[in-house]
């Protein structure tokens, strides 16, 4: 069986780190910056970065609606940090009009941006993650959290009393950055989701 082609949205953020992590767990990762590249992949990973900047670039490159359409058609996706924000159906404190973060509607949830505080409030720690035997070392950088989930959303991990990892069908999101720790289990989970094995 050929490796799934997983795109990494390459507009801003930890693109290289996610490409390396996906490659390490058997995927065929490709940077996505154009509509033709989005159309060619089996799934998409949206990395951390700055959600309003990524949203602005999506609009400028005319990728917002094609990405929404692919998600609505069932394309598997994974978003970390800013990617979690963009995959939400509702963004609390989305930002100033014209530079607001764009909700793509991949997961029925409301997400609060920078919920844990500013850059200086960034932290890391071990958290339990549903389905994994050992805790995940999670790095939170200006991280969001989930304030509301729909009935079909599964909470996979929590921190400070809020969901920080969720899944709805073939769409996964974490408010932390697994690409920076060397622990590839969440990327492997996503590849398994894409392959229909999780």
Pairing mode, if any, of strands 107-112 and 145-149?
Answer: antiparallel
- pTM: predicted TM-score of the whole model, two decimal places: 0.94
Residue 1: per-residue pLDDT: 59
**Residue 177: active-site member:** yes
Q: CA 45 to CA 22: how far, in whole Å? A: 10
CB 111 within 8 A of CB 100: no
Q: CA 61 to CA 154: how far, in whole Å? A: 32
CB 1 within 8 A of CB 191: no
Residue 100: per-residue pLDDT: 81
CB atoms within 10 A of CB 130: 12
The dihedrals phi and psi of 171, each to the nearest 5 degrees, come to: -120, 130
76 three-class SS: coil
Q: CA 54 to CA 99: how far, in whole Å? A: 10
Would you say 6 is a known binding-site residue? no
Q: Of 17, 18, 179, 187, which residue is the catalytic one?
A: 179
CB 79 within 8 A of CB 42: no
Residue 101: per-residue pLDDT: 87
Owner of token pair 């693109």: 15
Write down the architecture of domain 6-195 according to CATH.
Answer: 3-Layer(aba) Sandwich (3.40)
Q: What is the pLDDT along the chain (198 residues), one digit of tens a residue?
A: 578 999 999 999 999 999 999 999 999 999 999 999 999 999 999 999 999 999 999 999 999 999 999 999 999 999 999 999 999 999 998 665 656 889 999 999 999 988 876 665 678 999 999 999 999 999 998 899 999 999 999 999 999 899 999 999 999 999 999 999 999 999 999 999 999 886
Q: CA 109 to CA 100: how far, in whole Å? A: 17
Q: Of 37, 81, 124, 162, which residue is the catalytic one?
A: 81
**Residue 179: active-site member:** yes
**Residue 81: active-site member:** yes
Residue 40: per-residue pLDDT: 96
Residue 118: per-residue pLDDT: 67
Pairing mode, if any, of strands 162-168 and 171-174?
Answer: antiparallel
């Amino acid at each position: 069986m050929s490796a799934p082609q997983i795109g990494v949205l390459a507009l801003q953020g930890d693109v290289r780190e996610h490409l390396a992590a996906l490659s390490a767990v058997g995927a065929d990762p490709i940077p996505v910056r154009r509509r033709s590249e989005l159309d060619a992949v089996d799934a998409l990973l949206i990395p951390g970065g700055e959600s309003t900047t990524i949203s602005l670039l999506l609009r400028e490159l005319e990728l917002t609606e094609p990405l929404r359409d692919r998600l609505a058609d069932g394309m598997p996706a994974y978003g970390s940090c800013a990617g979690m924000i963009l995959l939400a159906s509702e963004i609390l404190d989305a930002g100033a009009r014209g530079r607001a973060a764009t909700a793509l509607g991949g997961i029925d949830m409301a997400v609060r941006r920078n919920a844990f505080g500013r850059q200086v409030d960034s932290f890391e720690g071990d958290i339990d993650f549903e389905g994994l035997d050992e805790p995940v070392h999670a790095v939170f950088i200006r991280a969001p959290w989930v304030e509301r989930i729909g009935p079909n959303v599964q909470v996979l991990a929590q921190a400070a009393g809020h969901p920080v990892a969720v899944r709805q069908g073939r769409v996964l999101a974490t408010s932390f950055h697994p690409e920076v720790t060397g622990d590839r289990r969440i990327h492997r989970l996503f590849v398994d989701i894409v392959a229909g094995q999780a």
